[in-house]
């Protein structure tokens, strides 16, 4: 088992995200918050000493995460919310930070560029 020199943030949609999705995607009416949280996004971040350091880093990358989360559920960017700053991000998503990541796979890590 190897440790990875990264931290992680697990991002769970909250009620404002679901409310937006129901407004823009008429096929999403039966989706619940539990459905959206069943397979949350996990983002690797730099290692950190204090959670406040990670919170500051998250503020810098929150728009990228926000847009990825929107894109996963609804690709029509013209219907995405205009405000995607850190304050709105925190209203729309619950974040769990993790500082210990372990690699149990035998194969090498492969990084795919977008």
Under 8 Å between Cβ of 72 and 38: no
- Give the single-character DSSP code of 19: H
Backbone angles phi, psi at 56, to 5 degrees: -65, -40
Task: Give the pTM.
Answer: 0.90
In a structure prediction context, what are the per-residue pLDDT tens digits for the chain, which is 114 residues long?
A: 888 899 999 999 999 999 999 999 999 999 999 999 999 999 999 998 888 899 999 999 999 999 999 999 999 999 999 999 999 999 999 999 998 999 999 888 888 877
For the chain, the domains span: 2-103
């Amino acid at each position: 088992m190897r440790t990875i020199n990264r931290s992680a943030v697990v991002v769970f949609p909250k009620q404002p995200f679901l409310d937006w999705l129901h407004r823009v995607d008429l096929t999403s009416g039966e989706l619940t918050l539990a459905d959206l949280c069943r397979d949350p996004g996990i983002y690797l971040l730099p290692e950190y000493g204090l959670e406040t350091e990670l919170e500051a880093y998250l503020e810098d990358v929150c728009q990228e995460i926000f847009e990825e989360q929107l894109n996963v559920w609804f690709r029509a960017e013209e219907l995405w919310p205009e405000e995607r700053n850190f304050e709105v991000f925190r209203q729309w998503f619950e974040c769990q930070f993790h500082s210990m990541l372990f690699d149990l796979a035998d194969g090498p890590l492969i990084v795919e560029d977008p």
